[in-house]
Chains A and B, each alone.
Chain A
Amino acid sequence: MQQVAKREEIFPRDPNKTYSLMAIVEGDSFQVERGPDDTLQSWPHLMVRELLLFLLVFIVIVGVSLVFNAPLEEPANALHSTNPAKAPWYFVGIQELVSYSAFLGGIVAPAVIVLSLLFLPYLDRNPKGTGVWFSPDRKIATLLFTVFVIAMIILILIGQFVRGPNWGLYWPWA
C-alpha cells in the first residue's frame, strides 16, 4: 500500500497516457530495459576469464616453442628449386587447386570464396536460429558451410601430406 502511494506521488497516473511507473526497485545501479538477472559486470566476471585464457594461450605457446623448433632450410637459392615447392599450409589447398588449373584454382576459386564470405550476411538474413549451435532452422546453411570447410581441409591435407616430389601422389610414409 505504501509503495503504491509512493509511486503515485513520484509519477501520478495520467488517464491520457498508456504508460505508468510500475515499481521502484532498490539497487545501486541502473536497470534500463534489462531483465533482472541476465547480465553480469564485465569486471570481474568477464575480465578474469579473459586473463585466465591469455595465461593458458601463453603457456601453451611457450611450451610448444621450447619443444619444437621452427623449420629452417638451406639459404634461398634461385638456381635450384626445391622439389616439391610448397606454399604455406593455409595456401596449400589453393596450390592443390592450382595444380589442376592455375586460373580457375588460383584466381577464380579464391575470389568466389572471399566474395561469398563477404556477402554472406546480406544474402542469408533470416534471423531464425541465431545464437544456437547447428540450429535445426538453418540445416541447409550448416550443410553448405560444412561441405566448404571439409573440402578446404581435404585439399590442405592432400597438398601438405600426400603430394611428394614432382607433385605426384605419395603416401605420407612413402
Chain B
Amino acid sequence: MSFENSACAATLHDKASDEAVNGDRRDFVKKLSVTTLVLGVGAAIVQCGRFLQPNVLYEPSRVFKVGELSKFPIGSRIVIEGRGIEIVRERDGFHAISLVCTHLGCLIKPVENDPEIGYLCPCHGSTFAHKGEVQGGPAPKDLPWYEMYLDHTGTLVVDASKVNHKRTKLVV
C-alpha cells in the first residue's frame, strides 16, 4: 500500500508533462499510420496499373519491310496499306511519312496533283503540306517521318517506332 501511495505522488507530479508526451506519441502514431496507409494504397494502385499494362502486344510489328527498291520509282508516292505510312521517293532520296493524323488519329488521305496540299484528314479537315507540315485545320503537330534503311538483301525497311526528327532522307 505504501509503495502505491508514493508512486501516486510521483505520477501526480509529472502528470502535465506525461500528457504532453502522450499527446506527442499519439500524434506520431497517427501520422505514421496515415503515411503507411497512403503509401500502401498508393503502391497498390500503381501495381494495379502495372498489371493492366500489357507486356506483350499482339499487334503488327513496328519494324517492317515495304518491298524492293524497284517498286518505288523516282517521283512516286506509294501508300503502304495497313501500316498507316506512305513511302515518297523524290530525286534526292526516300522518306516514310506517317498517315495517322496528329489531331485525333484518323487515317489521312494523300491529295493528288496539288502544289500546296499534300495530305487531307477526313475527320476534322486538317491539311498538311507535302513534307508533312500543318497547313490548316486543328492538327497540332506536323506529320512525323519514320526511320528507314536498306537491309542486307536490298529491301527497304521502315522502323515506325523511331521518329526521324531531323527529317533526313534516305539516299540510295
Contacts and interface: CB of A to CB of B under 8 A. Distances in A.
Contacts of B121: 166
A100 B124 CA distance: 9
A107 to B, nearest CB: 12
Given A81-B107, A98-B104, A167 B140 contact: no
B32 to A, nearest CB: 32
A27 to B, nearest CB: 51
A85 B123 contact: yes
Interface magnitude class on chain B = 10 to 19
A84 B120 CA distance: 12
A44 interface: no
A71 interface: no
A81 B123 contact: yes
A165 B109 CA distance: 13
Interface magnitude class on chain A = 10 to 19
Interface string A93-114: 0000011111100000000000
A81 B106 contact: yes
Is chain A's binding surface mostly helix, strand, loop or mixed?
A: loop
Is chain B's binding surface mostly helix, strand, loop or mixed?
A: loop
B114 interface: no
A35 interface: no
A47 B131 CA distance: 68
Nearest to B127: A166
Interface in B77-92: 81-82
A82 B106 CA distance: 9
B122 interface: yes
A3 interface: no
Given A78-B82, A82-B122, A98-B103, 15 more contacts: A79-B82, A80-B107, A81-B107, A81-B123, A83-B122, A84-B123, A98-B104, A98-B138, A99-B125, A101-B138, A102-B138, A165-B122, A166-B125, A167-B124, A167-B125
Interface of B: 81-82, 103-104, 106-107, 120-125, 138, 140
Interface of A: 78-85, 98-103, 165-168
